[in-house]
Amino acid sequence: MHTHDLLKRRLIDPDTHMYRTSPERAIAAVESLGLKHRRIYLDANFDGQSQATIRALTEKYVGQRRAWATFFQTLGYIGIGLLLLNLLTFSIR
């Protein structure tokens, strides 16, 4: 499900769950999730450029996830602040 969130713009057929993406992008999407896993690829002949692409895309996906988490955490703090402001404003009468 989390990988689908990263690759949903490349979905070809939702019924068969087919995506049109490069192997590097798919690997980076899985590695950016932070789940415990081992790196076992069917094609072990990735060159240096492919490894660099995987690292760059993984960092990009992790950065995007951190940015969204920070955004929603900030919204939560703003919401709590507004609730406290309302509590203090309307309870002092």
Query: In this structure, is residue 76 part of a structural domain?
Result: no
**Residue 14 falls inside a structural domain:** yes
Within 13 Å of residue 65, how many CA atoms lie on the same side as its CB? 16
- 68 pLDDT more than 90: yes
pLDDT tens readout for residues 23-51: 888 888 888 888 887 777 667 777 888 88
Is residue 80, in this structure, part of any structural domain at all?
Answer: no
Q: Could you tell me the pTM of the whole model?
A: 0.73
Find the domain containing 9 and state its range: 2-67
Q: Please count the structural domains in the chain.
A: 1
In the chain, helix, strand, coil percent, each to 5?
65, 5, 30
pLDDT value at residue 77: 98
Indicate the pLDDT class of residue 92, thresholds 50, 70 and 90.
confident
- Is residue 72 situated within a structural domain? no
